[in-house]
């Protein structure tokens, strides 16, 4: 079971991601903006973060950099889910420290399998 923090300013996308992750058996925390997400990150020390890029108060890139700066979150994986899909946007996402950049709209099955692959214990 993983601890997952999901941040998106679209409540309906939160609804689907939350359901999907709970169905996979994870502990799930959701945030409507970057600031809320930051509090959750501090409190819950997540293993996995699913982040929108454009959010009020603190955007996805800033959040991701924040996670990378926390020594006790070395193991955490960050996935961006964004409607911006241009080459430059993807590039910027990886530069901010993401493990994966998945454009919206995404396939839920694909998302789950890529998460499983990403979280597979090494070796």
Partner 1 sequence: MNSLTLIVCSLLYLSLLFLIAYWAEHRTHTRQSLVNNPYVYSLSLAVYCTAWTFYGSVGRAVSHGMQFLTVYIGPTLAAPLWWLILRKIIRICKVQRITSIADFISARYGKNRGLGVFVTGLCVAGIIPYISIQIKAIATSFSVLSGQADNASEGLFLGDQAFYITLVLIVFTILFGARTLEATERHEGLVTAVAFESLVKLVAFVAVGLFVTFGLFNGPTDIFQQARAIPALRQQFTFGPGHTSGDWFWNIILSMLAVLFLPRQFQVAVVENTSEKHLNKAIWLFPLYLFVINIFVLPLAFGGHILLGNLPIDADNYVLALPVQYGREGLALLAYIGGFSAATSMIIVETIALSVMVSNNVVMPFLVSRSNWQNRFGSVSSTFVINIRRLTIVLFLILAYIYYRTVSQQFSLVSVGLISFAAVAQFTPAMIGGIFWKEGNRAGARLGLYAGTAMWFYTLILPTLVPGLLPPTLLTEGPWGIGFLRPQNLFGQTDLEPLAQGIFWSLLVNSLGYLWGSINRPQSALEHNQAVLFVDIFRLSRSDESSVIWKGQVVVSELQRLLTTFFGADWARRVIERYTSRHAPATPTIYADARLVTYCEKLLAGAIGTASARTLVASIAKEETISVDEVIRILKTSQELISVNRELKRKSTELEQMAQQLSEANERLQAADLNKAEFLSTITHEVRTPITSVRALAEILYDTPDMNDHSRQQFLGTIIRESERLTRLINQVLDLERFESGRLQLQLEPVLLRDIVRQAIDTIQQLIREKNISITVQHDIPPTTVRADHDRLMQVFINLLSNAIKFCEPNQGRIAVLTSADGTNLIVSITDNGVGIDPAYHELIFDKFYQLHHKTRDKPTGSGLGLAISRKIAELHGGSIRVESQLGQGATFTVRIPID
Q: Which of 27, 45, 68, 84 binds partner 1 (CB under 8 A)?
A: 84
109 vs 120, beta carbon nearer partner 1 = 109
Q: Tokens for 93, please give them.
A: 């996402």
Q: Is 44 helix (H, G, I), strand (E, B) or coil?
A: helix
Q: Is 59 in the site for partner 1 (CB under 8 A)?
A: no
Q: Which is nearer to partner 1, 8 or 38 (CB)?
A: 8
Q: Among 4, 5, 7, 13, which residue interacts with partner 1 (rule: CB under 8 A)?
A: 13
Interface residue with partner 1 among 5, 17, 40, 78 (CB under 8 A) is 17
As measured in angstroms, the least distance from the Cβ of 93 to partner 1 is 15
**Cα separation, 38 vs 107, whole angstroms:** 27
**Contact 67/37 with Cβ under 8 angstroms?**
no
Which DSSP symbol is given to 53?
S
Alpha-carbon distance of 38 to 92, in angstroms, equals 20
Site for partner 1, rule CB under 8 A: 9-10, 12-13, 15-17, 19-20, 23, 56, 83-84, 86, 104-109
């Amino acid at each position: 079971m993983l601890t997952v923090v999901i941040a998106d300013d679209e409540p309906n996308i939160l609804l689907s991601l939350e359901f999907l992750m709970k169905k996979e058996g994870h502990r799930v925390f959701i945030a409507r903006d970057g600031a809320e997400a930051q509090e959750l990150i501090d409190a819950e020390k997540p293993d996995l973060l699913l982040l929108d890029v454009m959010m009020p108060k603190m955007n996805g890139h800033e959040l991701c950099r924040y996670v990378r700066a926390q020594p006790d979150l070395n193991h955490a994986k960050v996935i961006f889910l964004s409607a911006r899909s241009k080459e430059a946007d993807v590039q910027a996402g990886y530069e901010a420290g993401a493990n994966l950049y998945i454009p919206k709209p995404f396939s839920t099955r694909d998302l789950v399998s890529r998460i499983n692959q990403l979280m597979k214990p090494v070796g």
